[in-house]
A and B are shown apart, each in its own frame.
Chain A
Amino acid sequence: MLRLPLRADDPKSLDPVQGSTAYDNMATCQVYETLVQYKYLVRPLELEPLLLSEMPTISEDRLTYQFKLKPGVLFHDDPCFPGGKGRELVTDDVFYSWKRMADNGNDPKSWWLLENTIAGFDEYRHEQNAAVKEKKRTFDYDAPVTGLQKINDHEFRVILKEPVQRFMWVLAMFQTSIVPREAVEMYGDRFGRHPVGTGAFTLAEEDWRPGQRMVYYKNPSYHACYYPTEHMPEDVAAGRTKDAGKRLPLVDRLELEFFVQDQPMWLSFRTGKIDYTQVPDEYFDEAFIKRTKQLRPKYVREGITDQKVELLDFIFRGFNMEDELLGGYSEKQKKLRQAISLAVDLEEFNEAFYSGNNSVYDGPIPPGLEGYPPDGKADVSYRGPNLERARQLLAEAGYPDGKGLPRIEYYTSNASNNVEQTELFKRQLSKINIDVNAQIVEFSTLIEKVHNKKAPFFGFAWGSDYPDAENNLALFYSPNAAPGSNSFNYNRPEYDRLYERIRSMPPSPERTELYIKMRDMVIEDAAFIGSMGRTRFYLINPWLKNFKATEDFYNWPKYLDVTERGVYPSQ
């Protein structure tokens, strides 16, 4: 039996189309599955078939994808099926599940994943929702979509509007998981709490104890999935290759325990009640020697191991490029932003607030993705501290020694230690005589200000949805301007043209070159001050086997195994 922590309160819903957070993802993808998944042990991340018998074939023009479903994949046994026996997954289930993302009645959180992607799908969505709104009829799931073509029960084609590289990544995201129509129709509103999928584990409604835990059991009819043989060299030493070829899942029972506060999670780990823990910031010094970042000897003696993961974070302070004072693309306007950027010392933030554990880098592409600059340092860089150059650029911008520059309005949320961070930020900028008026507001107010383009300067963050820098570069694409994801309201036609090119390009050195060009373009324009990404540390109890920390996907409990819980080698 696995006992794993979920560092949050209950997931909101187990209906894939209603999920959005990492916690929803963790809870949902034990039960539901997507067409493709990430290879568990391979880094950088790669995709492999999950509900497919092989990866889809893609036409030369990259518009047509042909899929073959794996035969014999059964839904969990459930009263929604005749005789209570789960039936086989077929093409119609895939189309039905994706169409649910288009139905506003389902309160879908992730329509944007398929928006502007599949031929005829946006039109279908518009037409169906309009008909529902005008009370003409209910949402018609049987109506055809040009780009979704059934060949037979196990084969289908998807025609894209234009080549979109991210389509394959989207198919690995839990929101596109496949659900059976019978269950949705039978359970209605309760479907989000009564999951019926094809996943490695099943979850009964009564085993979801609100505010407490979720108890999953091994799916006895789980389709043939095996522990991977493909791995990285370090996996051998870590003992993660011993179960290669074994049928999944490896355990009979999985418990996800909810922890709203860090102390109970930490103490539960230390008493062996959970199998691993993330290391909360306030316990970092308890677990690691700060200087060397080595695990403390007492933990090593107990057989506890540690792992760390760099998150696909882009934490920044952004400028509204439409702002009269701080926005604009003229040389003087650019120099003002560059000067501000050069006055900020992100390493000081890192040391003061994150024990030096975060990664600090140039540009919007986080570590681990194509386009990330070597060692985080790009050729074009306005990362501080370089006060001399900052003062020079400030003078060239028309504000020698900061004279004549009005007080800058800076918005940030009141979450976490932002009050203290803002004090440091103000102090750093005061060194070049820039006066900041910090507005520390509720996160909702911050969003509202950014959406309405009322925040000239703001603290924000972006977590990549999938491991492709295209996702981050979309943040500067002008059609995505606020209230879209382009919070900077960045608008350069040349950048837009490049983005439209890379969107459809498969990975290649040529595409990486374009990523770098786009990255340097936004650095040169100094649309933001950045960047920073979090590093998450894990401690693993000695009885947990095969654990390889990741924050990019969450269906890995099926690969985990446990020996005797509570027995430490030192005992």
Chain B
Amino acid sequence: MWSYIIRRLIYYIPVYLGVILLVMAILRVQDPVAIHLGKNATQERIDATREAFGLDRPFAEQYATFLKKLITFDFTEQSWDFPGVTVGSMIRRSIVPSLSITVPALVLTTLLSIGVGMISAYFRGQAVDKALVFVAVLGMCISVLVYIILGQYFGAYLIYKKTGHELFAIQGYEPGLQYWAHYCLLPVMISVIVAMGYDTRFYRAVMVEETGRDYIKTALAKGVTKRKVMFVHMLKNAMIPIVTQVMITLPFLITGSIVLEMYFGIPGMGRALIMAVNSKDFPVIQAFTAVFAALFIVSIILTDVMYALVDPRIRLS
């Protein structure tokens, strides 16, 4: 397995180099210094800043320098927007708040969606199935912003106003498990509701497809109960698309949910990235994009490994 991982890593090196090249080139189409410094910046100041950040050097040299930093995990470059704050420290401090939302949301969404998907497939064509599909489609049709606005109004504001008890925070974040439910549960619930619509439909389709396969017919012919076929035989065989779906989501765990973080004042990666984009904080955008690309590649490799683990027919060769 390790040789496979190493081979895949080597295979993805040129891809990663290409991605970085592309990212760096795109970020330099317009002069990032002039954009960041704004309308009142003098040419002298633009030149001085460009020199200070090495942007006056040839592109190839900048590319090599940035690659070297990535390889050595050197994220000590300072944010343009927050002098004195390194990109590394921004990543470190915002990763946990992001994960506090995205990990529980992913786990809950996956478990619930698989469950609902299976129930739906089990009652395929019946009223239960139709009702579940209707709810799922309805859930995914409504914008996340609506859930947020309603969630904050009813879940945080109105409960507090009517009962004097602050069940959920309107916004904010405090580190520590004891504060998790107060600050994170509402955004997690919203995230689950939004994602469940898509996931339920996907898993239902997967399950329905599996129900038509020969091994299911064989099992049923042998007298295995329908329930056992669904939850033991079929679930095992449906793991490949489930793994794919979950693994694709993994990089987004780190980047967080931009909208939720913005509205709930959670100081996570998504919020940090969008703020950096808004203020043209070049080093942060460049480093975040590079990290995200790396995570994406790692998740692709992990997906392949997971395939082999859940399906003995797949060999890592």
Residues of A bordering B, CB below 8 Å: 9-10, 12-13, 15, 18, 104, 107, 111-112, 129, 189-193, 209-212, 258-261, 263-264, 267-268, 270-271, 273, 444-445, 447-448, 450-451, 483-485, 487
Residues of B near A273 (CB, < 8 A) are: 170
A483, B30: Cα distance in complex, Å: 17
Residues of B bordering A, CB below 8 Å: 30, 34-35, 38-43, 45, 48-49, 52, 78, 81-85, 93-94, 148-149, 152-153, 156-157, 160-161, 170-173, 262-267, 271-272, 275, 280
- Quick check: A13 and B83 within 8 Å, CB to CB? yes
Residues of B near A450 (CB, < 8 A) are: 39
15 inter-chain pairs at a CB distance below 8 angstroms, sorted by A residue, are A9-B271, A104-B45, A189-B78, A191-B84, A212-B172, A258-B265, A259-B171, A260-B271, A261-B263, A263-B149, A264-B152, A268-B170, A447-B34, A448-B30, A483-B39
- Quick check: B172 and A267 within 8 Å, CB to CB? no
A507 → chain B closest CB, angstroms: 26
Residues of B near A270 (CB, < 8 A) are: 157, 161
A451, B272: Cα distance in complex, Å: 29
A559, B312: Cα distance in complex, Å: 72
B131 → chain A closest CB, angstroms: 32
Given known pairs A263-B152, A271-B160, A445-B30, the reply for A104 and B48 (CB within 8 Å) is yes
The answer, among B39, B49, B156, for a CB contact under 8 Å with A107, is B49
B164 closest partner in A (C-beta)? A566
A326, B78: Cα distance in complex, Å: 44
Given known pairs A12-B82, A261-B262, A270-B161, the reply for A210 and B267 (CB within 8 Å) is yes
Residues of B near A211 (CB, < 8 A) are: 94, 173, 265-267, 271-272
Most buried by A among B94, B267, B280: B267
The answer, among A12, A104, A263, for a CB contact under 8 Å with B263, is A263
- Quick check: B83 and A112 within 8 Å, CB to CB? no
What are the 9 tightest A-B residue pairs by CB atom distance, in nearest-first order?
A211-B267, A264-B171, A444-B35, A189-B84, A267-B157, A447-B39, A192-B84, A190-B84, A104-B48
Residues of B near A12 (CB, < 8 A) are: 81-83
- Quick check: A193 and B30 within 8 Å, CB to CB? no
Given known pairs A104-B45, A271-B160, the reply for A264 and B83 (CB within 8 Å) is no
Residues of A near B275 (CB, < 8 A) are: 9
Residues of B near A18 (CB, < 8 A) are: 83
Given known pairs A267-B153, A271-B160, A444-B280, the reply for A212 and B265 (CB within 8 Å) is yes
Residues of B near A267 (CB, < 8 A) are: 152-153, 156-157, 170
Given known pairs A9-B275, A190-B84, the reply for A260 and B152 (CB within 8 Å) is no
- Quick check: A10 and B82 within 8 Å, CB to CB? yes
A321 → chain B closest CB, angstroms: 18
A257 → chain B closest CB, angstroms: 8
A212, B48: Cα distance in complex, Å: 33
- Quick check: B262 and A107 within 8 Å, CB to CB? no
B1 → chain A closest CB, angstroms: 40
- Quick check: A271 and B170 within 8 Å, CB to CB? yes
A450, B38: Cα distance in complex, Å: 11
The answer, among A210, A261, A268, A451, for a CB contact under 8 Å with B39, is A451
Q: A107-B52, A261-B262, A451-B34 are in contact. List 7 more A-B contacts (CB 8 A).
A: A9-B271, A189-B83, A191-B84, A259-B265, A263-B148, A270-B157, A448-B30
A484, B42: Cα distance in complex, Å: 8
B262 closest partner in A (C-beta)? A260
A379 → chain B closest CB, angstroms: 32
- Quick check: B171 and A268 within 8 Å, CB to CB? yes
Given known pairs A264-B170, A447-B39, A483-B43, the reply for A15 and B83 (CB within 8 Å) is yes
Residues of B near A259 (CB, < 8 A) are: 171, 265
B97 closest partner in A (C-beta)? A211
A272 → chain B closest CB, angstroms: 9
- Quick check: A212 and B35 within 8 Å, CB to CB? no
- Quick check: A212 and B267 within 8 Å, CB to CB? yes
A372, B148: Cα distance in complex, Å: 44
The answer, among A112, A191, A268, A445, for a CB contact under 8 Å with B40, is A112
A145 → chain B closest CB, angstroms: 19
A212, B271: Cα distance in complex, Å: 12
Residues of B near A451 (CB, < 8 A) are: 34, 39
A294, B263: Cα distance in complex, Å: 29
The answer, among B43, B52, B85, B267, for a CB contact under 8 Å with A193, is B85
Most buried by A among B34, B81, B172, B173: B172
- Quick check: A447 and B153 within 8 Å, CB to CB? no
The answer, among A104, A258, A271, A483, for a CB contact under 8 Å with B157, is A271
A488 → chain B closest CB, angstroms: 13
A460 closest partner in B (C-beta)? B39
The answer, among A13, A191, A444, for a CB contact under 8 Å with B30, is A444
- Quick check: B265 and A264 within 8 Å, CB to CB? yes
Residues of A near B41 (CB, < 8 A) are: 483
Residues of A near B43 (CB, < 8 A) are: 483
A267, B31: Cα distance in complex, Å: 40
A262, B149: Cα distance in complex, Å: 11
Residues of B near A487 (CB, < 8 A) are: 39
Residues of A near B94 (CB, < 8 A) are: 211
